[in-house]
């Protein structure tokens, strides 16, 4: 356990976070990076070393020109503690156990017969138990569980205010999950959780600003500005899926019309493809197969969806001006059908130099979303 909160200096948290996300680093490099004295860094690192969260590596670099003694970098002891992360979808739980560096050690999936809360919680308890009892000694060194859920989530209270795909309203998920699992639970919106993982351990490391856009059942966006994840006063910042781009477009479940999500979400694509093909039984995979086989109406559905996504991303770039943008999500299984139209829509709508923002488009499996949930629980440990 960490020392009591009133005994933990801000320098301890700063040193721990910096080594965690950017290490290994020497004390001299940490002092330079954090604007602290070497003595302050040494004092801050001492309890972290004593508690087993940091370790000194063999000396590998000298502290400066003419310095006689090589520095011993500080590094995270990744196996000091483990964290469970679970992504909750409408029909499946995806769980992982991660170490302190958010490296996935093991994973498991569990199908859901319905999004009924009691059923989901029962399956969650069994999934967590299965993961912790696997070889690796996880149970004895795991205290925290992160849950990633779509929709409007209040991370501070663990309340799911509204999850459209799970049809949950005002659910005290943290409280109920803690009773089921016996772990300390953090609940976060799934896109924000994935953004946190990218910020601390992925493409966003060291970036003062970046955006992560997700394509799938919904269209989401996580924003980091000034080195911090943006939640907004009401916790719903970054809802790119509900940017209106066509006032005469299809109705959206949010009550508006022509939202990005109403055109480019997975269900929206299926509806449009069924209408275009005159086949009411068509699935998303069927639509992808038709488009790849050269079917023009199906191809036009994906082209329209990609253009809508690109327009939404451009709106983010114009408003926030991120240093980089990552586009990901399970919907990018149709990567080849989306990509050129996402880029074209972005270039058309981005204003001035915003069009030069690097746009990285890559699919991520659901295990990465679960890793994001685990990262949120790592972040909660650091904040504690």
Same-domain pairing of 218 and 337: yes
For residue 32, give Cα distances in angstroms to 181, 197, 326: 42, 25, 30
pLDDT at 93: 97
| SS3 call for 47 | helix
What residue spans of 278-365 are helical by DSSP H? 284-292, 296-320, 335-349
The rounded distance, in Å, linking the Cα atoms of 54 and 350 is 44
pLDDT attached to residue 361: 82
pLDDT > 70 in the chain, percent: 93
Question: Considering the domain boundaries, does residue 112 fall inside one?
Answer: yes
Domain shared by 186 and 241, yes or no: no
* 192: in domain: yes
pLDDT value at 256 more than 90: no
Q: Are residues 47 and 180 in the same domain?
A: no
pTM for the full predicted model: 0.84
CB contact set of 33 (below 8 Å; sequence gap of 6+): 18, 22, 25
* pLDDT confidence bin for 157, thresholds 50/70/90: very high
**Rounded mean pLDDT of 244-270?**
89
Place of tokens 């020109």: 65
Is residue 154 within 8 A of residue 137, CB to CB? The reply is no
CATH number of the domain that 16 lies in?
Answer: 1.10.10.10
Residue 311, token pair as written in the block: 């327009």
* Segment (H or E) for 100: none
Whether residues 213 and 335 fall in one domain: yes
Q: Are residues 236 and 333 in the same domain?
A: yes
CA 69 to chain CA mean position, Å: 41
In a domain, 232, yes or no: yes
Q: Which range, 36-40, 138-142, 213-217, is most confident?
A: 138-142
Do 323 and 226 share a structural domain?
yes
Last residue of a domain, one of 51, 76, 101: 76
Domain at 144, CATH number: 3.30.420.40
Question: Which of 76, 107, 137 represents a domain boundary (last residue)?
Answer: 76
CA distance 200 to 207: 10
Residue 61's pLDDT band (boundaries 50, 70, 90)? low
Helix, strand, coil % over all residues of the chain, rounded to 5: 45, 20, 30
pLDDT for 215-231, tens place per residue? Answer: 888 888 999 988 888 87
User: Are residues 229 and 245 both part of a single domain?
Assistant: yes
Q: Which of 37-51, 107-121, 242-256, 370-384 has the lowest mean pLDDT?
A: 242-256
CA–CA separation, 379 and 10 (whole Å): 15
Query: Is residue 278 domain-shared with residue 291, that is, in the same domain?
Result: yes
Q: CB within 8 A of 302, min separation 6: which ones? A: 269, 287, 288, 291, 334, 337, 338, 341
Q: Kindly report, residue by residue over 293-332, the tens digit of the pLDDT.
A: 999 999 999 999 999 999 999 998 998 888 888 888 877 7
If asked whether residues 267 and 133 sit together in one domain, one would say no
Measured over all CA atoms, what is the biggest interatomic distance in the chain, rounded to whole angstroms?
A: 77
How much is the average pLDDT of 331-357?
A: 88
Q: How many domains does the chain have?
A: 3
Same domain, residue pair 125 and 270:
no
Residues 71 and 85 in one domain: no
Q: Give domain status of residue 201, yes or no.
A: no
Looking at residue 314, what DSSP letter applies?
Answer: H
Q: Are residues 356 and 300 both part of a single domain?
A: yes
Q: What angle do CA 103, 4, 29 make, to 5 degrees?
A: 55
Which domain, by its residues, includes 29?
5-76
Among residues 76, 91, 119, which one ends one of the domains? Answer: 76
Q: Tens digit of pLDDT for each residue in 80-124?
A: 999 999 999 988 999 999 999 999 999 999 999 988 999 999 999
Q: Using the CB atoms, write b or e for 19-41: b if 16+ within 10 Å.
A: bbbebbbbbbbbbeebebeeebb
Average of per-residue pLDDT across 252-280: 91
Q: What is the mean pLDDT of residues 275-296?
A: 93
């Amino acid at each position: 356990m960490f020392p009591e909160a009133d005994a933990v200096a801000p320098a301890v948290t700063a040193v721990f976070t910096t080594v965690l996300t950017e290490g290994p680093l020497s004390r001299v490099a940490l002092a330079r990076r954090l604007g602290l004295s070497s003595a302050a860094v040494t004092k801050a690192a001492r309890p972290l070393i004593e508690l087993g969260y940091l370790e000194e590596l063999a000396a590998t670099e000298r502290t400066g020109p003419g310095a006689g003694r090589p520095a011993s970098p500080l590094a995270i002891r990744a196996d000091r503690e483990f964290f469970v992360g679970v992504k909750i979808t409408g029909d499946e739980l995806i769980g992982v156990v991660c170490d302190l560096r958010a490296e996935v050690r093991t994973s498991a999936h569990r199908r859901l017969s319905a999004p009924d809360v009691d059923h989901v919680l029962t399956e969650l308890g069994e999934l967590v138990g299965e993961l912790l009892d696997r070889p690796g000694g996880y149970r004895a060194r795991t205290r925290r569980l992160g849950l990633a859920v779509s929709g409007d989530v209040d991370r501070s209270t663990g309340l799911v205010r509204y999850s459209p795909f799970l049809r949950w309203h005002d659910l005290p998920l943290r409280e109920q999950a803690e009773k089921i699992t016996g772990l300390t639970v953090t609940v976060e919106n799934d896109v924000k959780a994935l953004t946190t993982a990218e910020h601390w351990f992925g493409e966003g490391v060291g970036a003062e600003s970046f955006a992560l856009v997700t394509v799938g059942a919904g269209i989401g966006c996580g924003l980091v500005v000034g080195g911090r994840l943006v939640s907004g006063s009401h916790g719903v910042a970054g809802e790119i899926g509900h940017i209106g781009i066509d006032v005469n477009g299809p109705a959206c479940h949010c009550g508006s019309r022509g939202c990005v999500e109403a055109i480019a979400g997975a269900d929206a694509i299926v509806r449009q493809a069924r209408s275009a093909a005159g086949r009411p039984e068509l699935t998303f995979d069927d639509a992808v197969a038709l488009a790849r086989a050269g079917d023009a109406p199906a191809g036009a559905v994906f082209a329209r969806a990609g253009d809508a996504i690109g327009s939404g991303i451009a709106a983010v770039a114009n408003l926030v001006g991120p240093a980089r943008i990552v586009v990901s999500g399970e919907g990018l299984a149709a990567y080849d059908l989306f990509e050129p139209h996402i880029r074209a829509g972005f270039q058309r709508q981005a204003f001035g130099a915003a069009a030069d923002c690097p746009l990285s488009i890559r699919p991520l499996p659901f295990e990465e979303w679960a890793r994001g949930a685990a990262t949120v629980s790592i972040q909660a440990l650091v904040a504690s």
